[in-house]
Structure 1
Amino acid sequence: MQLKENYKKIRTATVDFCNHLEIEDFAIQVVKFASPAKWHLAHTTWFFETFILKEIDKNYKEFDANFNYLFNSYYNNVGTRILQNNRGNMSRPSTNTVFEYRAYVDSKMLAVMDSITNQKIIDLIVLGLQHEQQHQELLVTDVKYMLGHNPLLPSFQENYNLVADKNAVNTSVKIDAGVYTIGHQEKGFCYDNELGVHKVYVADFEIDNYLVTNKEYIEFIEDGGYTNFNLWLDEGWSWIQNEHIKAPLYWHNIDKQWQYYTLAGLQKIDLDAILCHISYFEANAFATWKNKRLPTEFEWEIASKKLNWGLRWEWTNSAYLPYPNFVTANGAVGEYNGKFMSNKMVLRGASTATSANHSRHTYRNFFSATDRWQFTGIRLVK
């Protein structure tokens, strides 16, 4: 059964990544938005226990009844939960107990998967696996944030850089004005926020088939990019002033030489490598400086089949809003995407931290305009 094999493969990949951590790393939460590795391991397990095992077996025995409170993320329909910023306060349950929890749930899941015929349950298992892949990427970004703010700037794994990629081309793609169809239309999984296929009109535009490099962004910095308020949206200008932002996340100017923290440790910045860890406000200011702009998410999707993409999550100039006829599902599953459609910007593509087979050209990622810990980059339009 392919679903069963996918389950084993995806669940194993999460653990394989964590095998490179020290035991002291598992419980640390540096900031509210970056969850501990131990919590990710338990939360993804809780998803299968809560939405699959307890659903198909009313006599199912929970591994620990407290885990619903500890490892629920934001599903109000499922019950109360700890505050997000308290995820790092849990020295107990131990990391070993969390791995035992994973083994317990995996054994139960594998025992029942061959006999499941209910399509609703099968769809929930697929959603759970997609959900785990999202958390695999969050594990990468959260671990990088943790180690990147450790005074020693330790290496996670030798050669595990993830920001060394370079552009394959330096051309652009012209798209003619017209009416185009937007939204997920192919077979296979998609999230509910990709549904609501509809038509949009776009004017002529030309979009770069490459992403902004570190060299280009250093030119922006040296030209006073962070000191010229004319380049910035008002909220972005207030943000960089209040937070003293002067460069991308993980960048350090040491003895007049730019260096950045990678998961392979602190390294001299590769000027030709693709820029990473940029907020929407920084991306928009850079676009203004270049006398260009960011694409809308519709322009990006229309052009995507002609573009090289997948190395960075790419900021668009579109607010995260529902497509026409978007319907929020009943119950806890309906809390997955819809309730976040406020004060977020859409990113398209994927990144070097994205799990295999977890990207498509209709995928709508979304983050706040100040978020930088994801593997984000810039593609421009004129």
Structure 2
Amino acid sequence: MGTRLATPPADAREAAVCAVDPLAARHAAVRERSVELAAPVSAEDAMLQSMPDASPTKWHLAHTTWFFETFVLSQLRGHRPVDETWQVLFNSYYQAVGPQHARPMRGLLSRPSLADVLDYRAHVDASLHDALASGQLDDALRLRVELGLQHEQQHQELMLTDLLHALSCNPLLPAYRDELPAHGAPAGAMRWQRFDEAIVEVGAAAWPHAAREFAFDSESPRHRALVAAFAIATRPVTCGEYLEFVRDGAYRNAALWLSDGWTRVQAAGWQRPLYWLDEEHAFTLGGAREIDADAPVAHLSYYEADAFARWAGARLPTEHEWERAAQGAAVEGNFVESGRLAPTANAGDGVRQLFGDVWEWTSSAFLPYPGYRPWDGAIGEYNGKFMVGQQVLRGGSCASPRGHLRASYRNFFPPHARWQFSGVRLAKDIA
């Protein structure tokens, strides 16, 4: 039997707290957004786990709730866990907190039900708003609430990308939402923007000790880096350009690939980007659609991005080059709020589409910056222990929340990962 919770509905008191406390208002908005993203998903859909790297929608909804209960509410006097067994089920990888249910087995968790998980969310949200209203949260716990919101926004994107992969495994090719818009504007010509050699400031000041604006520990400390002269493409590579790469036999040309990449191509039988059904159609969150040749190409591994760059006579940018090009640029673009949920072309002048549409692979490994220090305690496991075997991506995607991104943001995935909205922007050396 499921664990049913007696949770009071949102009332005037919660609205009053949100009116006077920006953190409470932000918490309510982010938490509501996750439920909205899950609304088109059936209970059956919400349980799907199509590969070990992905998680069910239901698990994402529960894990983000577990985060607030574990790292905020559990620190308050008199708090009792909603269900002790859920402390194991919904712990992702925090060894300091306790054991975890095996990641590849999350799709077998038929209990608790989706209704139970939604009740769990409402119960924890009500408890947290009561704590905010009564002033029980000190500055340290309020900072943890902000971290929890940033964490939840990451999972909002994962909810969509994980569900896209799961639905793609269904031969019916069902849509997450049928009414998604189709094509955007023409891409315009790819041009090059030159940057001279310079010593630049990269990264972010350590939050919360040296900065009021949030940044993950992996973005700090802010430091100086020598960036040699380079040129960067004014827009991402399009589907049409990538199709030329496919038709040129690139997936059969070992000379274009890193050794590990070529091994992966052969073992997995890659012939085109993930979700391309053929050279004219792709599976999307809107179901099977015609490929928009002008849209940024997505769902590429680092190996594919690197091979394309080599084929095109260019290379991938370093993360410091990418950040230099993005410094001072407004965080504007095609994010989840646009409702498109697919990359789309955006013609214009200068370097554009640095934010949104597709995460852009860089040639940089996800390693600590000079002087890096992880956060104290269990939350120090958030990023630091993953700094091996991963590549940095920059910029955000069409599934990213706009308010979650900044020029210093470092996303990371292993080089074979393809199920994210990951694309490529070219760079080249300047003699």
Provide TM-score, normalisation by structure 2: 0.85
Q: Aligned ranges for residues 1-382 of structure 1 at < 5 Å?
A: 1-57=21-77, 59-114=78-133, 115-116=135-136, 118-160=138-180, 167=187, 170-185=190-205, 187-253=212-278, 257-305=279-327, 307-308=351-352, 309-310=354-355, 311-382=357-428
Q: Is the 8 A contact 1:162 1:262 kept in 2?
A: no
Counterpart amino acid of 1:199?
R
Runs of 4+ in structure 1 off by over 6 angstroms are none
- SS where residue 232 of structure 2 aligns? strand
Aligned counterparts of 2:369 and 2:187: Cα–Cα separation in 1 = 32
Structure 1 residue runs without a partner (length 5+) = none
Which amino acid in 2 is paired with 1:266? A
TM-superposed deviation, 1:164: 5.5
Q: Is the 8 Å Cα contact of residues 172 and 206 (structure 1) preserved in structure 2?
A: yes
* Structure 1 residue 26: Cα displacement: 1.1
> d(CA) in 1 for partners of 2:240 and 2:162?
26
In the alignment, is the contact (CA less than 8 A) between 2:218 and 2:374 conserved in 1? no
> Which whole-Å deviations, capped at 9, do the CAs of 1:266-317 have from their partners, x for residues lacking one?
0111111110111000000000000000000000001113532122100000
Shift of 1:158: 2.0
Deviation per residue, 1:9-57 (Å, 9 max, x gap) = 0000000011101121111111111100110010000000000001122
Distance 1:299 1:53 in 2: 41
Shift of 1:97: 0.7
Letter in 2 for 1:12: E
- Greater CA deviation, 109-118 or 139-148? 109-118
Q: How many residues align?
A: 378
Label 1:163 to 1:317 Cα distance change in 2 as closer, same or farther (>3 A): farther
Q: What is the rounded CA distance, in whole Å, between the counterparts of 1:262 and 1:117 in structure 2?
A: 42
- 1:55-88 Cα offsets, whole Å, 9 max, x none, are 122x212111111000000000000011100101
Q: Which moved more, 1:115-124 or 1:207-216?
A: 115-124
What is the TM-score when the length of structure 1 is the normalising length? 0.96
Q: Which runs of 5+ in 2 are unaligned?
A: 1-20, 206-210, 330-350
Change (3 A) 1:49 1:168: farther
Q: Please, which moves more after superposition, 127-136 or 194-203?
A: 194-203
Check whether the contact 2:183–2:292 (CA below 8 A) recurs between aligned residues. Answer: no
% identical equivalent positions: 43
Q: Distance in 1 between matches of 2:181 and 2:52?
A: 25
CA contact (8 A) 2:131 2:137 kept: no
How has the CA–CA distance of structure 1 residues 359 and 283 changed in structure 2, closer, same or farther, with 3 Å as cutoff?
same
Query: How many angstroms does 1:171 deviate by?
Result: 3.0
Letter aligned with residue 238 of structure 2: T
- Give, in whole Å, the separation in 2 of the partners of 1:116 and 1:140: 34
Determine the C-alpha separation between the residues in 2 that align with 1:75 and 1:162.
40
Deviations along 1:353-382, one digit per CA (max 9) or x if unpaired, are 001301000000000000011111110012
Partner Cα separation in structure 1 for residue 151 and residue 359 of structure 2: 18
**Residues 163 and 377 (structure 1), Cα distance of their counterparts in 2 relative to 1, 3 Å cut:** farther
Task: State the one-letter code of the partner of 2:379.
Answer: V
